[in-house]
Amino acid sequence: MQAKITVTETWLRKHRHLYDGATRHPFIRSIRDGNINISAFKTWLGQDYIFVRAFVPFVASVLTKAYKGSDDGNGDVEVILGGVAALHDEISWFKKEAFKWGVQLSSIVPQKANQEYCRFLESLIGPEVEYTVAAVAFWAIETIYQESFAHCLEDDSKTPPELKETCQRWGNESFGEYCNSLRNIVDRQLEKASDDVITKAEATLLRVLEHEVDFWNMSHGRT
Ligand SMILES: Cc1ncc(CO)c(N)n1
């Protein structure tokens, strides 16, 4: 039997070019090829720490919406709670990593692309934003990092050993399974969503992809 094509599958096919632009960005390629500029990596590290701090209240809002809005028994809350727990660990990791690279987190000023991305996250927190729309953003944000960093760990990659741990953080298999769970949540929601919500959710996915590309550009020193 042919499996049914999901909404996310349709979107990823339709927006493949933009999606690949986010997951195969020159910044990621430079890690994978082993010619990353370490100052670009440090820029990314400091800016991403700020992003992750802003990501926490957004994820908490998705958790709240899952509790209020999804059918019981699908386990959405548990999956998202796992994401919150991972973020707690991630923040400690950023602090440790920043110390290792001599990056002073307290003095980092968010750059324009980061500010805009954080503002976008804030715009998705309010109760007027549907669970489905917010969940699509959440799934996309996590999955882009998963795919990007997993790419740096493939057998033929030349990722510098000192960056392997960073790539492992998002590129590991269990983070991949978590992203798949998010995708299932999203597809289940989209299956029963109105056309209006589906349209909004697709537009939100495109905005996430654009923000991710801008974020990599910023880290790469191309803004
Ligand atoms: C910019 C950005 N996108 C996605 C993630 C994944 O959590 C992250 N840490 N930073």
Q: Could you list the pLDDT tens digit for every one of the 223 residues in the chain? A: 667 899 999 999 999 999 999 999 999 999 999 999 999 999 999 999 999 999 999 999 999 999 997 665 679 999 999 999 999 999 999 999 999 999 999 999 999 999 999 999 999 999 999 999 999 999 999 999 999 999 999 999 999 999 999 999 999 999 999 999 999 999 999 999 999 999 999 999 999 999 999 999 999 886 5
Distances (CA, A) of 140 to 43, 72, 134, 214: 23, 23, 10, 15
Which domains are present in the chain?
7-219 (1.20.910.10)
Residue 106 DSSP label: G
- 152: phi then psi, degrees, rounded to nearest 5: -80, -5
Q: How far is ligand 1, taken at its centre, from the CA of residue 197, in Å?
A: 24
State the ipTM, two decimals: 0.98
116 in active site? no
What's the gap between Cα 202 and its chain centre? 16
CB of 202 closer than 6 angstroms to any ligand 1 atom? no
Q: Is 125 exposed, middle or buried (0-12, 13-18, 19+ CB in 10 A)?
A: middle
Considering only CA atoms, which of 115, 114, 137, 5 is closest in space to residue 61? 137
Distance from residue 3's CA to the centre of ligand 1 (Å): 31
Q: State the burial class of residue 126 (Cβ atoms within 10 Å of its Cβ: 0-12, 13-18, 19+).
A: exposed
Q: Token pair of 103, please? A: 């990056």
Closest residue CA from atom 7 of ligand 1: 142
pLDDT number for residue 69? 78
Where residue 102 falls (left for φ over 0; alpha for ψ -120 to 50; beta otherwise) is left
